[in-house]
A and B are shown apart, each in its own frame.
Chain A
Amino acid sequence: MSVFNQSRSNIIRLIFLGLFLIIIVQLFNLQVIQGKYKQLAMDNAVFAKTRYPDRGIIYDRKNRPILNNTIMYDLVVVPKEAKKTDTFGLCEILGIDTAEYNKRIKEASFKNGPYRPSIFEDLLEPQLQARLDENIWKFPGFALVERPVRVYPFNAAAHIMGYIGEADSTIIKRSGGFYHMGDYVGRNGLEAYYERVLMGQRGVEFLLKDNKNRLVGNYEKGRYDTPAIRGRNLHTYIDVELQQLAEKLISGKLGAVVALDPKTGGILAMASGPNYDPNTLTGPNKQKNYGRMVLDVKAPLLNRAIQGFYPPGSTYKPLGALIGLDEGVITPASGIGCTGAYYGCNKVVHCTEHWQGHSANLRLSIAWSCNSFFSDVFRKTIDNPEYHSSRAGLIQWTNYMHKFGLGHRIGVDLPSEIGGNVPDTTQYDKEYHRSWNSCTMVTIGIGQDKLTVTPLQMANSMAIVANKGYYYIPHFVKNIENETEKDTLLKKYREKHEVLTHIPNDVYDIVQEGMQDVVDHGTAQVARIPGINMCAKTGTAENKTVLDGRVIQLKDNSMFVCFAPREDPKICVAVVVQNAGFGASWAAPIASLMVEKYLTDSIRAERLPEIKRIAEANIIPDYFERLQYKTDSVRAYKWFNLTHDSDYIKKYLPRRSAKKENRAPAPVAMKPEKDKMINENLYAKRSTTDKRNP
């Protein structure tokens, strides 16, 4: 009947075809024209996971690992799967309450989402880890996950090795995107200096994730993955036993010990006091320990061997003699008639020796450390007629000092080295309005005035004397594993620095003989080791500090430099003990023990009590207690002003109770997170305080 409607079948066909055409156009648009969807799908499903390689190991000269890797465990939770966990059991093992448990679960869900693992408690103590490992089946959703951690098997060389920490925003910015948030990076010491060598090469693994962000497998069976390449190991000159001895001897004191091999510039040991156990900065309590040390006014984190600078005192004298000899202003036979003081200038330079003839020649003057003689040598150097002016003379002297590696960073392979100070013409021009002469700075001749050096520089100066005119830049790393042409880090340590060219060997012998006399007959007889010819020089430098508006006269810094054996120098040692008195009292025995330990590989039994005596001695000046109290209370006050949280300031407020007598409580132990905030806010440049000290 409706045959005449047949044409409508064509309309219906057209409707079908029309809509399909629209669909095809849209499909073409989505799949062929718009390219963005492929990337969007990749972003959805592929997760580029960074694989961190093991960091390189640092070995000592006898291939003992000083810095190694180990595995610690994090307790990790997937919040969504932890619903049926035995909450009470877990809380009991961890020693937390249910409220804390719920808080952490909530944090974890917030941070990484309920379907992905987040850290519940990191770096578990070994016993805790063992207990959890046994019971982990009771806690579905929880797992123990390995985490590589740095470990210091000898508990030594904290200042040298440094530590690693998460990269902060400055490091990330400076690296130009090389580091990312959460990457670990060497923050100090060799860990930082050799970061690129130790870190190895990070790998990337492309993983597939599903709609709930769970990782479900490798993308394309790992075809695009790059493997992580293990960091390369470092072999150092350090003798770990010598290092441990140095740390033992300097503990409880402010100061530094540096021992190096003059032939190579390799540093055998470097210790700074007060020191700390490097493992305290890797384990579970690292935040707390770090916070405590940062707030300590004695600055245990400071490496005084390269960051503490001291007037060298008499230890400068052999250098002064060498400059004079090289310049030709004195000869080994030069002498001066000293009767207890140098009267060449307006100000009198006193000398400790009064008897006639102690400064008859160079050797005697060194042996008796005659202040008059070396003041005279210095003035002769400055007023050298060859240069026609004392300005040119001072410039010449400054050049020598710079060549010796003084007055600027010597270039040791540690970050944040300090250069010390060698005064030059600009400094005196500024201070004396360009009117100065050799008398203005005459005490430089005896290592005073504006001259400051670091203990490392002192040790290096000894190497110049021991080597008879050359040195290698002091450094720790002997070689890098699989070293190639591209490793330029060690290049500068293999260059010989010839600094004195005009002095014949027999003249060096005279200087060295004078220094040997110091040990054999002079001020450093305590340092004598039978059978070893040791050359040495003691030093003492006055120092003062200002506390509560008053100037306090502190005990002198005790200093000692030496090298041995004289015939074939194998070790140079420089020791500084702050506020310890004469150079011979503390510094000399420390250096002597170091030399004995290194050269004979042991220490005679009769000296063991001496080690004990020195190690147990605490020569930290009393005023630190007061200083600590002051800085703590000031910090508490600033904290109060910042946050109106009276927790910390309370104990510093005067009270009528008996507590008033307790004027100087121990450093306040604050909660780690608060410590961190305070550090960041107020004590960003904490390490600078020590510079004012000596």
Chain B
Amino acid sequence: MNNQRNPTISKGVDSTLIWLYLLLVAIGLMSIFSVTYREGDDVLRSFLNFKTEYSKQLIFFGASLLLGLFILLTDSKFFTATANIWYAFGVLLLLLVFPFHSNVRGTESIIKLGGFNLQPAELMKLFVCLALAKYLSRVETDFNKTSSHLMAAGILLLPALITIAQHETGLALVFFAFFLVMFREGLPAGYLVIGFSLAVLVVATLLVDKNILAVIILIIALLTIYFGWRFTRQRRELIIIVSLVTVTCVGVQRFAVPFIFTHVLKGYQVERIFSLIGRENPYAKLNTVKGDDEPVDKKGKDTDYNVRQSKIAIGSGGFVGRGFLKGTQTRFEFVPEQRTDFIFCTIGEGFGFLGCLGVLGIYIFLLLRIVNIAERQRSVFSRCYAYGVASVFFFHIAINICMTIGLAPVIGIPLPFISYGGTSLLSFTTMLFILIRLDADRQMVLR
């Protein structure tokens, strides 16, 4: 313990994570460069004139490094001590969005502070991560009790609900990634089963006619009762439980899903979901959510334009890619949101299947490394925090890449460390460096 006063900050720092981080940011810079660079530009000058996007990203990178260094210099106890305060501060910021939001990019989740756009939901990921870790690591928390489950769920559902109220469903979904943390800490598998069943039910609602689905649910219920009849003596309870479940299912299928599609999600989001499964949107005219229809320039093209162009870009890369700066899809802006959400196309087009494999390899190495680090922590707080970071990264990576290759609906969330954007780079860097700081003190038991 006394060694903690040692002045060298590098002690205990996991260099692998830092190398992976630097590698990913470099890939990101290169990708942004290949999108923005035009033939004849003076590379060195435009990298330093801070006007081009790759040059701006370079500044963000410098700022991130400074912030990372600063975090490495702080005491680990600072994070455990202030976790709840940060959380409260974050929720306050989220609530402040309602009266003070500015209509940037058609969202209602941004506060304009001078020239800087602050998106509290972005910061909230970090705060929830800290607060959840704090709660789970409390001595008095017994995570076998349902009340603790509810409390933990509440920590992440509160900001999620506020974000949904701001019609940022994509961002809100990120908070659900924290269930992975709770799962690791002993959340009964039954919850996951219920959650999975609910997901199946929602997908089924989209794919199957509502009356047919109701009949199917009823048949499943009757079959359950028929087979359950022999195995249980508490037949009364069986009937009550099955009936309740059936009613809930039908309720979800009949009322909840249509309600979400008409009152919670924006019209274009519903369109994207339906375009992913290749169906016509039956709720198109019923949608009552106000706000700009689509944040990106639509140019009168159909809803799956982005995904189609993105798939063309990635597919045209082939096995080895078209070469750096040779991709026509990404260089001539056929894919919208090229630098931010659809940055993966650049890699797919320029470097092909091998390049994608390389980037995915780096990511999976990063995630598994974080899980390993999590498992070597002595303190529950650090472990929970590490799992939180892994969950958030995983969610971002998986959803972002799946969306570019047409496996997930288009949700505007960035690819960690690679996408252009100061806020996302800073927040991911902060999350990672707090983890590195905590890991450096892995012999300590933090509360």
Contacts and interface: CB of A to CB of B under 8 A. Distances in A.
Interface string B368-400: 100100110000100000010010001000100
A217 B368 contact: no
Contacts of A12: 180, 183-184, 371, 387, 390
B133 to A, nearest CB: 13
A1 B379 CA distance: 10
A44 B334 contact: yes
A41 B380 contact: no
A545 interface: no
Contact of B184 (A5, A31, A37, A38): A5
B394 A38 contact: no
A388 interface: no
The A contact surface, by secondary structure, is: helix
A46 B329 CA distance: 10
Contact of B186 (A2, A23, A45): A2
B328 A46 contact: yes
Given A2-B186, A5-B185, A12-B184, A24 B315 contact: no
A216 interface: yes
A692 interface: no
Interface stretch (B45-53, B90-98, B237-245, B306-314): B306-314
A216 to B, nearest CB: 6
A31 B328 contact: no
A34 B353 CA distance: 12
Given A26-B407, A45-B334, A31 B317 contact: yes
B313 A41 contact: yes
Nearest to A26: B405
B319 to A, nearest CB: 5
B316 A40 contact: yes
Contacts, number: 123
Contact of B332 (A8, A23, A24, A209): A209
A6 B184 CA distance: 8
Given A30-B405, A31-B318, A41-B313, A211 B39 contact: no
B353 A45 contact: no
Contacts of B398: 19-20, 23
B119 to A, nearest CB: 26
B356 interface: yes
Contacts of B349: 41
A34 B312 CA distance: 10
A45 B348 contact: no
B332 A208 contact: yes
Nearest to A36: B315
Nearest to B180: A12
Interface in B174-217: 180, 183-186
A5 B143 CA distance: 12
- Of the four ranges (under 10, 10 to 19, 20 to 34, 35 or more), the interface on chain A belongs to 35 or more
Contacts of A653: none
B375 A6 contact: yes
Interface string B402-425: 100111000000000000000000
A15 B407 CA distance: 16
A22 interface: yes
A236 B177 CA distance: 85
B361 to A, nearest CB: 9
A13 interface: yes
B333 A210 contact: yes
Contact of B360 (A23, A208, A217): A23
B364 interface: yes
Contacts of A26: 402, 405-407
B159 interface: no
B357 interface: yes
Contacts of B184: 2, 5, 8-9, 12
Contact of A31 (B143, B353, B371): B353
Nearest to A9: B375
B446 interface: no
Nearest to A6: B375
A23 B180 CA distance: 20
B356 A27 contact: yes
B335 to A, nearest CB: 8
Given A5-B186, A46-B328, A40 B394 contact: no
Nearest to B402: A23
Nearest to A37: B315
Contacts of A216: 332
Given A5-B185, A9-B184, A210-B333, A27 B328 contact: no
Contacts of A42: 316, 328
A37 B402 CA distance: 18
Contacts of A217: 39
B352 A31 contact: yes
Interface string B294-332: 000000000000000101111111110000000011001
A473 B357 CA distance: 74
A27 B405 contact: yes
Contacts of B334: 44-45, 210-211
Nearest to A217: B39
A15 B311 CA distance: 25
A32 interface: yes
A178 interface: no
A16 interface: yes
Given A23-B398, A23-B405, A27-B353, A44 B329 contact: yes
A9 B390 CA distance: 11
A34 B371 contact: no
8 contacts: A8-B184, A9-B374, A12-B371, A16-B371, A20-B364, A26-B405, A30-B315, A41-B316
Interface of B: 39, 143, 180, 183-186, 309, 311-319, 328-329, 332-334, 348-349, 352-353, 356-357, 360, 363-364, 367-368, 371, 374-375, 380, 387, 390, 394, 398, 401-402, 405-407
Interface of A: 1-2, 5-6, 8-9, 11-13, 15-17, 19-20, 22-24, 26-28, 30-32, 34, 36-38, 40-42, 44-46, 208-211, 216-217
Given A16-B364, A23-B405, 15 more contacts: A9-B371, A12-B371, A13-B368, A20-B360, A24-B360, A26-B402, A26-B407, A27-B353, A30-B311, A30-B314, A31-B318, A41-B315, A44-B334, A210-B332, A211-B333
Instruction: Rank and list the top 9 A-B pairs by shortest CB-CB distance, nearest first.
Output: A37-B315, A45-B328, A41-B316, A210-B332, A30-B315, A31-B353, A211-B333, A37-B316, A40-B312
